[in-house]
């Protein structure tokens, strides 16, 4: 049953090697943007639901008595996400200028921030002053909370895996210098991953701002 | 440095993590009963379902509304979601994400020729493609059996096999399964298997995401199957609220199932789109990309951007049933129209998710069997992109009868009619290729020609339906039903079978039986038309969809349609018999390039090596320069020049050898 053979010799010319490297780096670039596109349409559906129910105001039940989700927790989540996003972006900026430790500290702080934001978001769901089905606003808020959990989980997971990889590669590729700065294919692919991840964190900041305005300000 | 000189300086791959993958340190790729495979996935699914159901009961035990309703949607949803999670854990889909959390990359996957690889989570896109072939056919045949049940019930307007509730559940299950299957019918099997090879790549961009797409697709199949034991759902495949919010048990299977399938669609589309953009071989410029790849790229754009809306709509529905939100409940500040808008914002692009790959397949088949270049290749590619773009602007025509502002109707009527223009371009490209051609009527070509016949009827009736007056008249009846069966089954499914007969010899290395293929085709073509054409008349005479009783005077037409449907259904048995006979029971090896095609996928070795090409090819021209004297070879494969100018590599001459033996 286990008719297993070893992997055949896989060889590459230098030109093919360069091609594979460019393709891998390009895949991170394209994939990162496409991933944002997917999340944009997911969140746009939530925004559509928000404005659709708000404008239709069925039974005058869009937002009776102007109820709002717990503001303090909401502002805290937003602040933590924003700070984490800025840290990730700043960290990459510093990394490009050769300060690896700055990127690592900023990244791990962002991981912590992401976890805190996740915890706050889940806690907020237990503190709601309204029943989930009491109004259009209440329903949309629950929907947003679930999507926010998905988005924050994804962003935190991504940055954590990048950081964990950098720690492991520190041992593997020491002769090429830190993976954040080296010229090896592994290092170039790593930086493409960091770049895509940073771009996604920027998107998280923008999306959080828009939905923060929608649910807490207007 | 010349290409050949560079190739002579090849180096062995020194990286311990070459571009393919196993699980944590190769655990999943280690063969044997102790590794992860379909069996462990089933165990994981059952365990997950039981845990989720139990948790749901614990969570909901204190709520009176659950106790009073007699249905615990939280337990159902928990069971289905954790069941799907257990399925993924069992097959090994989460090994890699977990390994990444500690910074590990996967160990190399051991290449195996054992049949057991088809039951595993693998990074080989060819294995995933064949897994999809079986998965999609299973989906199709299950949905087909339900169609037989529907036609059996409609044999008589007064004597019933099923009760009305059971009947609508069967109709709903049939529609949902077929639509779920159709979204992945080509992208899954043929897209995954062929696209990397057609663009000269040795791998896909994200092979684990590709494998994930198949295993979550199969989880979606199992979840939607649970709808029937849960009591079914009464909404049809469209899941309209408020019926959705009032429905019980089986509705959760619909919502969770669609969310899972949607996730699989996004994953598959994401991976293939990134692969096409980044992994095209040197020389594979956009004007040389095969038309099938263009169709898959346009489809992937729709899959990745339209499907999130479906997932969001499904999430809102799940929340309405479990967390008691009111997205679709008019009485509590929600709106049933919200579902309709979100659903059709996905649903209409979905029509083109199903149609475009079909056109891509016939675009590949026609030049091979006419020995002519594809007529107006760039127009076909532009048409596909145009269809994909316009498909985002037509969804409201599904709501002409559902309370849409009447002032908006002309706008969406216009956009719907506009989309027929790029669609017409693609159709005319096919006609132009056939013009004055000496056609070889091989089995794949028969299916390709049938697509044009069927799609003409489906397309023209679609133009009728885009007009508000006609739409208002025939809405909700058998006319609409017949129209979309002509486009989806008459288009996509015929193209799928054409594609399978065309590419299975390359995919499996086995020759399909020609005689059985012809019998399959003629039975399917004739009885498809005899089944569905009368439904136009039945619809115009006023029979509504989803109702198990009808006027007495329509019985003759319904009976005619039902008997034809039974024979149509049995035509698939011929295919199954052919597949089983030709692939498993008495396999006949297929020649490397039986159709004498110039496509890059036919130029690589057979069976296709693990890395597809010994050397990354350098593409020199497009693959449609049939019959052109002095045309350059299609590609430099690093071995010998192949293509129109160099003659067939496989050593077969036009028409002399066929992948379908006549034995």
Torsions phi, psi for B151 (to 5 deg): -70, -30
Neighbours of B442 (CB within 10 A): 24
Q: Is B333–A134 a contact, with Cβ atoms under 8 angstroms apart?
A: yes
Residue A4 lies in a domain: no
User: What CA dihedral angle connects B455, B460, B462 and B465, to 10 degrees?
Assistant: -160
Look at A8 and B595; give whichever has higher pLDDT.
Answer: B595
Q: What is the token pair recorded at B507?
A: 């995919």
Whole-number pLDDT of residue B637: 86
Q: Is the pLDDT of residue B151 over 60?
A: yes
Query: In angstroms, what separates the C-alpha of B229 from chain A's closest C-alpha?
Result: 29
Q: Is B2 on the interface with A (CB under 8 A)?
A: no
Partner A, chain B 194-253, Cβ-Cβ below 8 Å: 201-202, 205-206
Q: For position A106, which CATH number holds?
A: 1.20.120.80
Residue B274: list chain A partners with CB under 8 A. Answer: 27, 30-31, 34
Whole-number pLDDT of residue B106: 72
Residue A20: list chain B partners with CB under 8 A. Answer: 19, 202
Decide the pairing of beta strands B11-12 and B618-619.
unpaired
Give the nearest partner residue to B334 out of A30, A31, A58, using CB atoms: A58
Partner A, chain B 344-363, Cβ-Cβ below 8 Å: 345
Residue B403's closest CA among B332, B480, B475? Answer: B475
Cα separation, B313 vs B335, whole angstroms: 12
Identify whether A148 is preceded by a cis peptide bond (ω within 30 of 0): no
Residue A191's closest CA among A21, A68, A65, A50? Answer: A21
Strand order in the sheet with B618-619: B618-619, B633-636, B641-643
Q: How confident is the model at residue B396 (pLDDT cuts 50, 70, 90)?
A: confident
Whole-number pLDDT of residue A7: 43
- Cβ pair A201, A91 in contact under 8 A: no
Q: Is the pLDDT of residue B639 over 90?
A: no
- Cβ pair B609, B111 in contact under 8 A: no
| DSSP-assigned beta bridge partners for residue B643 | B633, B647
Per-residue DSSP letters for B337-382? HHHHHHHHHHHHHHHHHHHHHHHHHHHHHHHHHHTSPPTTHHHHHH
| DSSP-assigned beta bridge partners for residue B11 | A12
Cα distances (angstroms) measured from residue A12 to each of A38, B100, B247: 35, 26, 58
Tens digit of pLDDT for each residue in B511-544?
A: 999 999 999 999 999 999 999 999 999 999 999 9
Q: How confident is the model at residue B408 (pLDDT cuts 50, 70, 90)?
A: confident
Residue A178 lies in a domain: yes
Q: Is B10–A4 a contact, with Cβ atoms under 8 angstroms apart?
A: no
DSSP 8-state secondary structure symbol assigned to residue B397: G
Sign of CA dihedral B265, B532, B399, B548: negative
Cβ contacts of residue B173 below 8 Å, gap of 6+?
Answer: B146, B224, B227, B228, B232, B233
Q: Is A2–B305 a contact, with Cβ atoms under 8 angstroms apart?
A: no
Q: Is B114–A139 a contact, with Cβ atoms under 8 angstroms apart?
A: no
Residue A123 lies in a domain: yes
Tens digit of pLDDT for each residue in B290-349?
A: 999 999 999 999 999 999 999 999 999 999 999 999 999 999 999 999 999 999 999 889
Q: How confident is the model at residue A110 (pLDDT cuts 50, 70, 90)?
A: very high
Residue A64 lies in a domain: no
- Cβ pair B242, B329 in contact under 8 A: yes
- Cβ pair A86, A205 in contact under 8 A: yes
Q: Is A6–B111 a contact, with Cβ atoms under 8 angstroms apart?
A: yes
Exposed, middle or buried, A175 (CB in 10 Å: 0-12/13-18/19+)?
Answer: exposed
Q: Is the pLDDT of residue B19 over 80?
A: no
**Residue of chain A minimizing CA distance to B305:** A38
User: Chains A, B: CB contacts under 8 A, how many?
Assistant: 223
- Cβ pair B300, A31 in contact under 8 A: no
Cα separation, B316 vs B653, whole angstroms: 58
Pick from B124, B333, B639 the residue to mutate for testing the A interface (most A CBs within 10 Å).
B333
Q: Is B308 on the interface with A (CB under 8 A)?
A: yes
Exposed, middle or buried, A26 (CB in 10 Å: 0-12/13-18/19+)?
Answer: middle
Q: What angle (nearest 5°) sits at the alpha carbon of residue B224, between those of residues B218 and B226?
A: 110
Residue B104: list chain A partners with CB under 8 A. Answer: 168
- Cβ pair B200, B617 in contact under 8 A: yes
Whole-number pLDDT of residue B647: 40
**Helices vs strands, H then E, count in chain A:** 5, 1
Whole-number pLDDT of residue B281: 96
Average pLDDT for B488-493: 95
Neighbours of B620 (CB within 10 A): 18
Residue A207 lies in a domain: yes
Residue A116 lies in a domain: yes
Whole-number pLDDT of residue B30: 54
Q: Is A7–B11 a contact, with Cβ atoms under 8 angstroms apart?
A: no
Partner A, chain B 82-101, Cβ-Cβ below 8 Å: 97, 100-101
Q: How confident is the model at residue B648 (pLDDT cuts 50, 70, 90)?
A: very low
Torsions phi, psi for B634 (to 5 deg): -65, -40
Q: What is the token pair recorded at B367?
A: 């030049």
**Residue of chain B minimizing CA distance to A158:** B101
Q: Is B108–A164 a contact, with Cβ atoms under 8 angstroms apart?
A: no
Tens digit of pLDDT for each residue in B91-129?
A: 999 999 999 999 887 766 666 777 888 999 998 999 999
* Element holding B661 (H helix, E strand): strand B660-661
Cα separation, B383 vs B514, whole angstroms: 33
Q: Is B309–A7 a contact, with Cβ atoms under 8 angstroms apart?
A: no
Whole-number pLDDT of residue A179: 72
Per-residue DSSP letters for B470-503? HHHHHTTBHHHHHHHHHHIIIIIIHHHHHHHHHH
- Cβ pair B502, B360 in contact under 8 A: no
Give the nearest partner residue to A38 out of B100, B266, B325, using CB atoms: B266
Cβ contacts of residue B119 below 8 Å, gap of 6+?
Answer: B37, B38, B39
Whole-number pLDDT of residue A109: 97
Look at B347 and A175; give whichever has higher pLDDT.
Answer: B347
* Element holding B466 (H helix, E strand): helix B443-466
Q: Percent of chain B at pLDDT above 90? A: 72
Tens digit of pLDDT for each residue in B29-63?
A: 555 566 889 999 999 999 999 999 999 999 988 78
Whole-number pLDDT of residue B636: 87
Give the nearest partner residue to B12 out of A6, A7, A11, using CB atoms: A11
Tens digit of pLDDT for each residue in B409-457?
A: 889 999 988 988 999 999 999 999 999 999 999 999 999 999 999 999 9
Tens digit of pLDDT for each residue in B561-589?
A: 999 999 999 999 999 999 999 999 999 99
Residue B315: list chain A partners with CB under 8 A. Answer: 143, 146-147
Give the nearest partner residue to B103 out of A6, A45, A164, using CB atoms: A164
The total of structural domains in chain A comes to 1
Q: How confident is the model at residue B236 (pLDDT cuts 50, 70, 90)?
A: very high
Residue B341: list chain A partners with CB under 8 A. Answer: 48, 52
Q: How confident is the model at residue B405 (pLDDT cuts 50, 70, 90)?
A: confident
Q: Is B330 on the interface with A (CB under 8 A)?
A: yes
Which string of b and e fits B597-617 if b means at least 16 CB within 10 Å?
A: bbbbbbbbebebebbbbbbbb
Q: Is B309–A41 a contact, with Cβ atoms under 8 angstroms apart?
A: yes
Residue A35 lies in a domain: yes
Cα distances (angstroms) measured from residue A104 to each of A16, A92, A212, B197, B493: 33, 9, 28, 40, 52
Residue A9 lies in a domain: no
Q: What is the token pair recorded at A141?
A: 């808020």
Whole-number pLDDT of residue B111: 67
Tens digit of pLDDT for each residue in B468-478?
A: 889 888 988 99
Cα separation, B267 vs B447, whole angstroms: 29
Average pLDDT for B633-652: 56
Q: Is B331 on the interface with A (CB under 8 A)?
A: yes
Q: Is the pLDDT of residue B18 over 70?
A: no
Cα separation, B257 vs B264, whole angstroms: 11
List the end-to-end C-alpha distance of chain A, in Å, as a whole number: 65
The residue segments making up the domain with residue A148 are: 18-59+69-217
Q: Is B301 on the interface with A (CB under 8 A)?
A: no
- The full set of domains in chain B, from first to last, is 123-507+519-551 (1.20.210.10)
Tens digit of pLDDT for each residue in A5-52?
A: 344 456 778 888 999 999 999 999 999 999 999 999 999 999 999 999
- Cβ pair B251, B320 in contact under 8 A: no
């Amino acid at each position: 049953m286990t008719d297993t053979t070893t992997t055949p010799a896989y060889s590459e010319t230098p030109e093919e090697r360069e091609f594979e490297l460019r393709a891998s780096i390009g895949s991170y670039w394209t994939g990162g943007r496409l991933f944002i596109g997917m999340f944009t349409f997911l969140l746009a559906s939530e925004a559509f639901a928000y404005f659709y129910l708000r404008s239709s105001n069925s039974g005058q039940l869009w937002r009776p008595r102007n109820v709002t989700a717990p503001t303090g927790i909401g502002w805290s989540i937003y602040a933590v996400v924003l700070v984490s996003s800025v840290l990730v972006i700043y960290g990459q900026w510093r990394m490009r200028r050769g300060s690896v430790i700055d990127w690592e500290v900023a990244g791990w702080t962002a991981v912590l921030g992401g976890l805190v934001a996740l915890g706050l978001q889940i806690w907020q769901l237990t503190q709601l002053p309204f029943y989930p089905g009491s109004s259009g606003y209440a329903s949309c808020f629950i929907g947003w909370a679930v999507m926010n959990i998905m988005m924050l989980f994804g962003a935190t997971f991504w940055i954590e895996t990048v950081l964990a990889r950098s720690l492991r590669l520190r041992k593997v590729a020491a002769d090429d210098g830190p993976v954040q700065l080296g010229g090896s294919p592994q290092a170039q692919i790593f930086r493409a991953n960091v770049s895509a991840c940073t771009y996604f964190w920027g998107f998280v900041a923008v999306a959080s701002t828009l939905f923060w305005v929608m649910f807490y300000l207007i | 440095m010349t290409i050949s000189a560079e190739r002579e300086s090849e180096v062995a791959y020194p990286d311990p993590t070459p571009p393919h993958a196993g699980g944590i340190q190769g655990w999943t790729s280690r063969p044997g009963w102790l590794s992860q495979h379909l069996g462990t996935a089933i165990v994981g699914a059952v365990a997950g379902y039981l845990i989720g159901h139990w948790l749901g009961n614990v969570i909901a035990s204190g709520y009176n509304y659950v106790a009073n309703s007699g249905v615990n949607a939280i337990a159902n949803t928990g069971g289905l979601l954790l069941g799907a999670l257990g399925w993924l854990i069992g097959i090994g889909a989460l090994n890699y994400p977990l390994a990444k959390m500690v910074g590990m990359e996967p160990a190399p996957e051991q290449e195996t020729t054992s049949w057991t690889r088809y039951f595993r989570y693998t990074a080989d896109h060819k294995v995933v493609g064949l897994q999809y072939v079986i998965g999609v056919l299973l989906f199709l045949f299950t949905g087909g059996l339900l169609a037989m049940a529907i036609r059996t019930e409609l044999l008589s307007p007064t004597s019933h096999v099923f009760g009305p509730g059971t009947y609508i559940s069967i109709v709903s299950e049939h529609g949902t399964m077929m639509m779920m299957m159709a979204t992945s019918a080509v992208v899954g099997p043929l897209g995954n298997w062929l696209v990397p090879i057609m663009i000269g790549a040795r791998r896909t961009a994200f092979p684990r995401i590709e494998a994930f797409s198949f295993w979550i697709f199969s989880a979606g199949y199992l979840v939607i199957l649970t709808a029937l034991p849960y009591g079914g759902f009464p909404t049809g495949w469209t899941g309209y609220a408020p019926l959705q919010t009032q429905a019980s048990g089986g509705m959760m299977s619909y919502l969770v199932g669609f969310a899972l399938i949607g996730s699989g669609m996004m994953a598959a589309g994401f991976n293939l789109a990134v692969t096409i953009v980044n992994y095209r071989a040197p020389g594979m410029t956009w004007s040389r990309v095969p038309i099938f790849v263009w169709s898959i790229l346009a489809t992937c754009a729709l899959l990745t951007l339209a499907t999130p809306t479906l997932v969001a709509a499904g999430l809102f529905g799940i929340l309405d049933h479990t967390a008691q939100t009111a997205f679709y409940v008019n009485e509590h500040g929600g709106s049933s129209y919200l579902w309709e808008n979100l659903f059709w914002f996905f649903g209409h692009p979905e029509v083109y998710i199903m149609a475009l790959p079909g056109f891509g397949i016939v675009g590949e088949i026609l030049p091979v069997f006419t020995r002519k270049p594809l007529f107006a290749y760039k127009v076909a590619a532009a048409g596909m992109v145009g269809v994909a773009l316009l498909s985002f602007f037509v969804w409201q025509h599904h709501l002409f009868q559902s309370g849409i502002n009447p002032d908006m109707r002309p706008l969406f009527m216009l956009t719907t009619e506009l989309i027929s223009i790029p669609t017409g371009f693609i159709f005319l490209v096919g006609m132009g290729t056939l013009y004055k051609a000496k056609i070889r009527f091989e089995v794949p070509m028969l299916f390709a020609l049938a697509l044009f016949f069927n799609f003409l009827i489906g397309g023209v009736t679609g133009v009728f339906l885009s007009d508000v007056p006609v739409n208002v008249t025939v809405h909700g009846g058998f006319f609409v039903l017949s129209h979309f069966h002509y486009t989806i089954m008459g288009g996509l499914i015929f193209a799928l079978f054409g594609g399978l007969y065309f590419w299975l010899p390359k995919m499996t290395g086995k020759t399909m039986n020609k005689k059985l293929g012809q019998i399959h085709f003629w039975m399917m073509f004739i009885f498809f038309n005899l089944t569905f054409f009368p439904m136009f008349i039945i619809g115009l005479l006023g029979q509504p969809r989803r109702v198990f009783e009808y006027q007495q005077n329509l019985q003759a037409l319904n009976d005619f349609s039902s008997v034809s449907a039974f024979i149509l259904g049995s035509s698939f048995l011929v295919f199954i018999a052919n597949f089983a006979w030709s692939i498993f029971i008495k396999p006949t090896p297929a020649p490397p390039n039986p159709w004498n095609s110039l496509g890059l996928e036919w130029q690589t070795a057979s069976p296709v090596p693990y890395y597809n090409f010994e050397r990354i090819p350098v593409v020199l021209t497009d693959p449609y320069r049939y019959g052109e004297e002095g045309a350059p070879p299609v590609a430099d494969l690093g071995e010998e020049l192949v293509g129109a100018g160099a003659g067939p590599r496989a050593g077969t001459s036009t028409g002399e050898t066929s992948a379908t033996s006549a034995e």
